[in-house]
Structure 1
Amino acid sequence: MKSDDEKLGYEPQVRQVQAVENEVNSISSRILDVMGIKGKTEGSGSMISACDAIDPDMKNYYTVAHPWSIYDLQEGTFEQAMQNLRDQLPKMGWQITKDGPTKSLAKNPEIVAVDNKSHHTVTIEWAKNRSGKLKELISIDVGSRCYKAPEGTDLSTER
Structure 2
Amino acid sequence: MDSDNPVPSSGVKRIDAATKDTKQISSEILDLIGIKGETSEGGPRVSECGDGKDRETYYQMRHPWSLTPPSGDQLAGVMERLKKKLPQQGWKIVHYERDSSPNKNLRLTGDNDERKFSVSVVHLAKNERPQLTVTVVSGCYQVPEGQRVDRY
TM exceeds 0.5? yes
Identity in percent: 28
Change (3 A) 1:53 1:136: same
Task: After TM superposition, give the deviation of residue 111 of structure 1 in Å.
Answer: 0.4
Task: Determine the C-alpha separation between the residues in 2 that align with 1:154 and 1:13.
Answer: 15
Which of residues 80, 83, 102 in structure 2 aligns to 1:83?
80
Opposite residue 130 of structure 2, the aligned amino acid is: E
Alignment of 1:110-129 (within 5 A): 110-129=107-126
Per the alignment, residue 31 of structure 2 pairs with 33
Give the Å deviation of 1:12: 4.6
TM-score (norm 2): 0.88
Report the CA distance shift for 1:70/1:11 in structure 2 as closer, same or farther (over 3 A).
closer
> Post-superposition shift, 1:153?
1.8
Aligned-pair distance for 1:152? 2.2
**Is 1:46 aligned to 2:44, yes or no?**
yes
Given candidates 56, 64, 67, the residue that maps to 2:64 is 67
Q: Which has the higher contact order (CA 8 A, sep 6+)?
A: 2
Q: Residues 9 and 38 of structure 1: is their aligned pair in 2 closer, same or farther, counting only changes over 3 Å?
A: closer
Q: Which has the larger radius of gyration?
A: 1
Within the candidate set 79, 97, 100, 1:100 is matched to 97
- How many residues were matched structurally? 149
- Indicate the SS of the match to 1:45: coil
Q: What is the distance in 1 between the residues matched to 2:64 and 2:8?
A: 25
TM-score w.r.t. length of structure 1 = 0.84
Distance 1:63 1:9 in 2: 9
- Alpha-carbon contact 2:72-2:129 (below 8 Å) kept: no
Amino acid at match of 1:129: K
The residue number in structure 2 matching 1:139 is 133
Deviation at 1:138, TM superposition (A): 0.2
How far apart, in 2, do the equivalents of 1:30 and 1:75 lie?
Answer: 22
Residue ranges of structure 1 left out of the alignment (5+ in a row): 1-5
CA separation of 1:8/1:113 partners in 2, compared to 1, >3 Å: closer, same or farther?
closer
Give the structure 2 partner of residue 155 of structure 1. 149
Give unmatched runs, 5+ long, in structure 2.
none
The answer as to whether partners of 2:124 and 2:130 remain within 8 angstroms in 1 is yes
Cα RMSD after superposing both structures:
2.3
Deviation at 1:59, TM superposition (A): 1.1
Quickly say closer, same or farther: Cα 1:59–1:9, change in 2 above 3 A.
Answer: closer
- Secondary structure of the corresponding residue to residue 34 of structure 1: helix
